[in-house]
Amino acid sequence: MRTVTAEEVARALAWPALIERLASTFRDGVESPPRHHHAMQRPDGEATMLLMPAWEQAGYIGVKMVNVFPQNAEHGVPAIAGVY
């Protein structure tokens, strides 16, 4: 799997093409089942992992993963981290 940075996306994608692609996706729809919600018991409190898959008929697929660690705020670090 290749991770694409925001800078790579900005260099490779023209705004008009991006806008049209997003519009067609909203028109045509995607399959997006209910997200998976996983509670994790930890010594310092509860954390949560969310998994949100989606795909479209053209064959594109993606998964958004979000981790929520509320206790991170006590240490001055973000409580929420996500990647798509």
Q: What is the pLDDT of residues 23-76, one digit of tens each?
A: 988 888 889 999 999 999 989 889 999 999 999 888 889 999 999 999 999 999
d(CA 6, CA 71): 28
CATH number at residue 61: 3.30.1780.10
Whether residue 20 lies inside any domain: the answer is: yes
Range of 10's domain? 6-83
Backbone angles phi, psi at 5, to 5 degrees: -80, 165
Global pTM?
0.71
Assigned domain for 39 exists: yes
User: What pLDDT does 58 receive?
Assistant: 81
The answer to whether 84 and 63 have CB atoms below 8 angstroms apart is: yes
44 lies in some domain: yes
Give the integer Cα–Cα distance in Å for 61 and 78: 28
Determine, yes or no, domain membership for 23. yes
The pLDDT-based confidence of 22 (bands split at 50, 70, 90) is confident
Q: What are phi and psi of 83, to 5 degrees?
A: -150, 145
User: Is 22 part of a structural domain of the chain?
Assistant: yes
Answer whether residue 65 is part of any domain.
yes
**Is the residue at 1 inside a domain?**
no
Could you give the number of structural domains in the chain?
1
